Amino acid sequence: MRFSKTSTLLFVLLLIIGSIVTSHVQTVRAEFRRSDLETRYRQRQEDLRLYEEQFERLTEENRQLLQRQEDAIADLLQREGQEGILEELRFTRMLAGFTQVSGEGVRITLNDKPDYDIFLDTEDSIVHDGDIRHVLDLLRNAGAAAFSVNQQRIVNSSYIYCIGPTILCNQQRLTPPYVIEARGNPEALAAAIHQDPTLSIRAMPGIDLIVIVEQLEEVVIPPFADANNLEPFINRLEVVR
């Protein structure tokens, strides 16, 4: 009987020790997985930062190359005495959105409701592609001469539509906040946004879409980034006889 009690106590003791060891191993594994996940997350953040720096560097290099190309064409036309063609070319490029323009205007910032909850909040609380197009239409009707969205120049061939949580514009994926800049009369452009009933409703408490309007003495609208690569934007060329 004494041996039986001893065996039972030993069994219970080993069971407790085994449970403690198992719990400890599971805790260590969980901590390791959490640590590994945090490490990978930090690495992805660093990768993203490096990609963003590379993108900015390549964008600047592309801008400089395009400027050198434009200067070379201008120099050639001037040396050949074709100043009239040069002026016509510059005017056409300006109308097409292929050159940078600056002057007074507005900056409109659209952003999702802070701490948006997909289960509690309505879809009206986040920015959609239609919202950006709506703002551009308001600005255009109010006399804006040039536009950009997150530094993407908007031209006739531009398109704006949702792809999952991002918005595609000129082959670039954009994420909020969406900063729309427009060249034109600041007061008229700002009034068009402030007086729009749709945006007013979307900004009301409970929906809380962020709509910020700034009147600026100078906005800089960059040139269309793909001015020398229009093939993706052209579906078909037709000749009318």
* Residue 204 and residue 122 in contact, taking contact as beta carbons nearer than 8 Å: no
Q: Which of 4-8, 122-126, 159-163 has the lowest mean pLDDT?
A: 4-8
The answer, yes or no, to whether the previous bond of 232 is cis (omega within 30 of 0) is: no
Q: Give pLDDT, residue 183.
A: 96
User: For residue 160, what are the contacts with CB-CB under 8 A and spacing of at least 6?
Assistant: 129, 132, 133, 136, 149, 154, 167, 168, 169
Average pLDDT over residues 135-154: 95
Burial of 41 (0-12, 13-18, 19+ CB in 10 A): exposed
- Taking the CA atoms of residue 156, residue 158, residue 162 and residue 167 in that order, the dihedral angle to the nearest 10 degrees is -130
Q: Is the per-residue pLDDT at 11 higher than 50?
A: yes
pLDDT tens digits along 204-224 = 999 999 999 999 999 999 888
pLDDT tens digits along 152-169 = 999 888 889 888 788 998
Q: Give pLDDT, residue 236.
A: 45
Query: What residues pair up with 210 in beta bridges, in sequence order?
Result: 111
Q: Does the domain made of 100-221 have the CATH classification 3.30.70.1880?
A: yes
Q: Which of 2-16, 104-118, 187-201, 227-241 has the lowest mean pLDDT?
A: 227-241
Q: What are phi and psi of 188, to 5 degrees?
A: -65, -40
Average pLDDT over residues 70-97: 79
Report domain extents, the chain. Answer: 1-72, 100-221
